[in-house]
Amino acid sequence: MEILESIDALVWGPAMILLLLGSHLFLTVRTGFIQRKLPLAVKMSLNSQGDGEGDISHFGALATALAATVGTGSIVGVATAILAGGPGAIFWMWITGIFGIATKYSEVFISIKYRVKDANGSMLGGAMYAWERAFRKNGKTPLFARVFAVLFAVFAAIAALGIGNAVQSNAMTGIITSHTAAPAFAVGIVIAALAAIVIIGGVQSIARVCEFLVPVMAVGYAGGCIAILVMNSAFIVPALQEIVLCAFTPRAAFGGAVGSGVMVALQYGCARGLFSNESGLGSAPIIAAAAQSKNPAQQSLVAMTGAFWSTVVICALTGIVIVSTLLANPELVGTVASIEHITGTQLASLVFEKIPYIGAPILALGIIAFSFSTIIGWYYYGNRAVAYLFGQKGIKVYQIMYVVATFLGAVGLGNVVWTVSDITNALMAVPNILITLALSGIVARETKHYVFDGNLDEESNEAIPFAERR
């Protein structure tokens, strides 16, 4: 575990933070501060009918991306960030959400612009196809581009098994077994079986489930958090003050019971921010490429709302609930300090259980719903990565591996999975960020044409047939 933690600290060191935050800021400027189009993007995202070439609707693609994004990172990940980096980590998570909107827009734009069609006419996209197509000359892709494409696909396939699967089933099992007498073995079988039923149906099945599940779970959880904040109303302003102060000044938050330090808050805030909204990770562009979109800008606007909902809204609510509850219950701080090697799950449980009547149910239902939706959403990402690497012949094998990983995560994987997930996040992000930055000039030029010059309804057929690897 110590070796993994050392690797995690290395990949999430100053270089990665600079790459991510620097990219968020650079792309915000490059896209003309695309965040100002957020109201339009939200309106477009509610359109259930697609109006262009693709396999699923605008909302179906967004719902699936949100399903994969709004997982344990939105609850347990926030608590873990607070434990390690103090309340200030919440501020940096929020910042990654605000500026990450531009990165989400840009990476999705590139994915759709360079998407391809398989033999069945289905749309395929993501960083691997962008690397393949963007640098192709005379029908040939340079070696360096193919290497980056393969690396991204490999990291995505592996990361899906951990960040999108084992971590989530482990969280689900933990919360279910803590409230019932059900053994982890039985819970794992049920979770794996339910996941198998959905993923075998393909992208349409996944999108249908997510279109129903995501709005219900997000509105329900957000409503519950707002109710808690009403109860903690006297501590909301002090909580916000603590979050901002700890982000910029070293201070012993809650008497030293949780982490502190500006750099630590920045590191864990950025890491968990990426975990929660996946801006720059390259995952959401994979499903966005399947959306019915007349041009790259349409679905890019819709997709960028994901970073807003997952981090700016859901994670911020979770963070303020945790900090305000700790301030409202000083004895809880002592309990936290007395538990050696306390986990994010334990902190979240302690905090929500302090809220009478509604606290524990909100936490339990939130983790269960968020985690299961993430499992099915991330399967699509892993599926597309495997299809790129091995063709359709690899899909059946990967389905079996994915269901098995769901079960194994449920019966015993713990904190080590969080660490591995952080590492694979970084490994995925590097080739994706590099291609996004390399093609940012194209994104900027075409964004001006489609978005700012009023040509959002213009048809642009970019997809080409793509011969899968055999």
124 by DSSP, 3-state: which? Answer: strand
Count of CA atoms in the C-beta half-sphere (13 A) of 45? 24
Q: Under the phi-then-psi rule, with left for phi > 0, alpha for psi from -120 to 50, and beta for the rest, what region is 275?
A: alpha
Q: What is the pLDDT of residue 470?
A: 37
Q: What is the pLDDT of residue 258?
A: 65
Distance CA 306, CA 352 (A): 25
Break the chain down into helix, strand, coil percent, rounded to 5: 75, 5, 20
Question: Are the CB atoms for 96 and 269 separated by under 8 Å?
Answer: yes
Distances (CA, A) of 117 to 66, 301, 387: 24, 22, 12
Question: Are the CB atoms for 353 and 359 separated by under 8 Å?
Answer: yes
User: Of 399, 382, 428, 369, which is closest to residue 66 (Cα–Cα)?
Assistant: 369
Instruction: Name beta bridge partners: 465.
Output: 117
Distance CA 299, CA 62 (A): 9
Q: Is 376 exposed, middle or buried (0-12, 13-18, 19+ CB in 10 A)?
A: buried
Token duo for residue 293:
């979109």
Quick one: CA torsion of 242, 244, 247, 248, rounded to 10 degrees?
-110
Q: What is the DSSP string of 262-326?
A: HHHHHHHHHHHHHHHH-TTTSSHHHHHTTB-BSSHHHHHHHHHHHHIIIIIIIIHHHHHHHHHHH
For the domain made up of 50-465, the CATH class stated in words is: mainly alpha
Residues 6+ apart with CB under 8 A from 94: 273, 311, 312, 315, 316, 319
Q: Is 90 exposed, middle or buried (0-12, 13-18, 19+ CB in 10 A)?
A: buried
DSSP 165: I
Q: Is 470 exposed, middle or buried (0-12, 13-18, 19+ CB in 10 A)?
A: exposed
Q: What is the DSSP string of 201-227?
A: THHHHHHHHHHHHHHHHHHHHHHHHHH
Q: Where are the domains of the chain?
A: 50-465
Residues lower than pLDDT 50 in the chain:
469-470
pLDDT tens readout for residues 270-291:
777 776 788 888 988 998 888 8
Question: Are the CB atoms for 147 and 307 separated by under 8 Å?
Answer: no
Q: Which amino acid is at 280?
A: G
